[in-house]
Amino acid sequence: MSTNDYVPPKVWTHLKPNGGVFESINRPTAGATFERDLPKGKHPLQLYSQGTWNGMKVTMLLEELLEAGLSGAEYDAWLIEIRKGDQFGSGFVDVNPNSKIPTLIDYSGDKPVRIFESGAILLHLAERFGRFIPTEASARGDCLSWLFWQVGSTPYVGGGFAHFYKYAPVKIEYAIDRYTMETKRQMDVLNRRLADRAFILGDQISIADFAIFPWYGTYALGWYVDVRQFLGVHEYPNLVRWAESMESRPAVQRGRRVNRIQKDVPGCIMERHEASDFEKALNVDRLANLIPHQLPVDGGVKAARQ
């Protein structure tokens, strides 16, 4: 049946698989499907995630906090492999009833703080450590506006453009056109915002940058799936300049490699428990002749694109 032949029924029912790479985990109901407790490491911050764009937001921020000398930001990052359905384990669902990554448990206080949704995690960490979020009312309002702009806007980019362009079992011109138009509009919003400032808020990096970069920056840089030509990324030079600046930060490079299943950059690690895990992973890749022996610990991202 072609897309032009489809007539929606009066009541939708889930009668057949919908196809695509997420077919095995898509379902119209919530809740756990199996029993599994969440592991717990030795650090106060326990992250349960995967190195998707939403997962990267949190690990990039955590690595930036550590780079700033805040040892309290040490964390264990446990892999939740979403295509295998790990997010439907009972322990994960107890913390996050929506069964999406990332999820964080903060054990630093008298009672554990359980947080799901990437934007909420970024805000919690920024407020707890007093970094990467302004305290002055006007600037704070600006930061929160851009943070929530990202979490509200990128479903069009990920669930819309990326899904129909890459993951959908059939290519539907209307759907691709619809979401490409909105993705380009959002990139234009950022390009205009960045015309006269180094970061989203101005001269100082903030959680707004960490929220926005893994989505729009990766499109601007051609990470994972290179859609730069299709999206006409050259039309957004301010966005590209900002993305390159973000990419050059050592902490951002490390954060990109955490809970990453794809070996699309050197030194990816499925789990992170110590800072030394990054160097260990690079050494493994060196021994396997996957990267040059002289590649520095924080040189993997840019070298992989060259």
The torsion region of residue 30 among left (phi > 0), alpha (psi -120 to 50) and beta comes to beta
**Which residues in 251-270 are b (16+ Cβ under 10 Å) and which e?**
bbbbbbbbbbeeebbbbbbb
What is the rounded distance in angstroms from the CA atom of residue 178 to the CA atom of residue 159? 12
- As a whole number of angstroms, the distance between CA 115 and CA 102 comes to 9
Q: In this structure, what token pair is assigned to residue 39?
A: 């592991």
Buried b (16+ CB within 10 A) or exposed e, 125-137: bbebbebbbbeee
3-state secondary structure 126-155: HHHHCCCCCCCHHHHHHHHHHHHHHHHHHH
Cα(268)–Cα(77) distance, integer angstroms: 13
- pLDDT of the chain, 306 residues: tens digit per residue: 445 688 999 999 987 776 666 777 888 999 999 999 999 999 999 999 999 999 999 999 999 999 999 999 999 999 999 999 999 999 999 999 999 999 999 999 999 999 999 999 999 999 999 999 999 999 999 999 999 999 999 999 999 999 999 999 999 999 999 999 999 999 999 999 999 999 999 999 999 999 999 999 999 999 988 999 999 999 999 999 999 999 999 999 999 999 999 888 999 999 999 999 999 999 998 887 766 545 444 544 454 444
pTM of the model: 0.92
- Residue-wise burial string across 42-78, b where 16 or more C-beta atoms lie within 10 A, e elsewhere: ebbbbbbbbbbbbbbbbbbbbbbbbeeebeebbbbbb
Pairwise CA distance, residues 168 & 166, whole Å: 6
pLDDT in tens, 221-271: 999 889 999 999 999 999 999 999 999 999 999 999 999 998 889 999 999
